[in-house]
């Protein structure tokens, strides 16, 4: 069965990246992309990772004293998980702790059994099963504090995936989510060639027609069934887009 699409939210830090107007820049930012899973792709002796589906990148490119904001609609994110930052043992694309959101998760009721203790204070000579303290003053009626134990069933309802999506993407991540929603609503994700491939191993943004970057890759998890190269990646992209369109109420909401 085809895994359901997930929202992936990742931090990105790149060096010597070509953004078009500037070359050899340092780029930092975030990617929000819909992909059913993290794919492994292989070509010859090169092995990379890929998230395939509609997405958006927003960040800043710095070269010397020049600073340029970068925004790109994506059809895929390609990266080499073995490449590390120069001064920290963390991959350039932070796949160690990504935020992964499943909008199709349903609200699940769960029943818990817990022990409830009621503290009771009574006056007089009380024969208590679980006494805590007894107080008897001169000329006063004694008081005894004791507790009773009762087993109670408590119903807990976990939030749905749609609610979690709204909470995470509609708040601080709104600058990433809003452009994706707008692009989706006008059908501009329908043709993957309209969007870019963020190809971090090649240090640039690309597109589906770039032979150097896109041809001859095999998706390892689809070996023997998914074809190779551009057509394999396009097929996966189209299946994700169709799933998002089918479940648009869960994935897409107005801000």
Q: What is the pLDDT of residues 76-126, one digit of tens each?
A: 999 987 665 555 555 556 555 668 888 888 766 666 566 666 666 777 776
The mean per-residue pLDDT over the stretch 218-227 comes to 81
The mean per-residue pLDDT over the stretch 199-228 comes to 87
Q: What is the pLDDT of residues 116-127, one digit of tens each?
A: 666 667 777 766
pTM of the complete model: 0.77
Domains of the chain, by residue range, sit at 6-106+159-251, 109-157
The two tokens of residue 138 are 């001169």
What is the pLDDT at residue 80?
Answer: 84
What is the rounded end-to-end Cα distance, in angstroms, of the chain?
A: 32
Only one residue has tokens 């408590």, namely 154
What does the alpha-carbon distance between residue 53 and residue 36 come to, in Å, rounded to a whole number? 8
DSSP structure string for 180-222: HHHHHHTTTTSSGGGSEEEEGGGTEEE-TT-HHHHTT-EEGGG
């Amino acid at each position: 069965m085809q895994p359901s699409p997930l929202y992936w939210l990742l931090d990105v830090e790149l060096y010597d990246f070509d953004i078009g107007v500037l070359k050899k820049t340092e780029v930092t930012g975030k990617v929000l992309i819909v992909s059913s899973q993290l794919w492994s792709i292989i070509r010859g002796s090169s092995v990379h990772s890929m998230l395939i589906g509609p997405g958006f990148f927003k960040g800043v490119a710095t070269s010397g004293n020049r600073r340029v904001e970068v925004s790109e609609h994506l059809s895929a994110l390609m990266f080499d998980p073995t490449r590390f930052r120069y001064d920290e043992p963390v991959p350039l694309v932070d796949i160690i702790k990504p935020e992964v959101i499943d909008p199709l998760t349903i609200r699940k009721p769960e029943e818990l059994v817990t022990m409830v203790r009621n503290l009771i204070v009574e006056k007089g000579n009380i024969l208590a099963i679980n006494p805590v303290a007894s107080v008897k003053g001169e000329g006063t009626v004694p008081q005894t504090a004791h507790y009773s134990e009762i087993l109670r069933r408590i119903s807990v309802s976990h939030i749905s995936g749609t609610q979690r999506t709204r909470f995470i993407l509609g708040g601080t991540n709104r600058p990433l989510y809003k452009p994706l929603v707008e692009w989706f609503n006008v059908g501009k994700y329908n043709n993957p060639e309209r969007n870019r491939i963020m190809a971090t191993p090649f240090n640039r943004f690309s597109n589906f027609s770039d032979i150097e970057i896109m041809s001859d890759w095999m998706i390892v998890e689809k070996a023997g069934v998914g074809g190779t190269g551009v057509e394999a990646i396009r097929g996966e992209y189209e299946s994700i887009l169709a799933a998002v369109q089918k479940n648009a109420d869960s994935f897409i909401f107005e801000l």
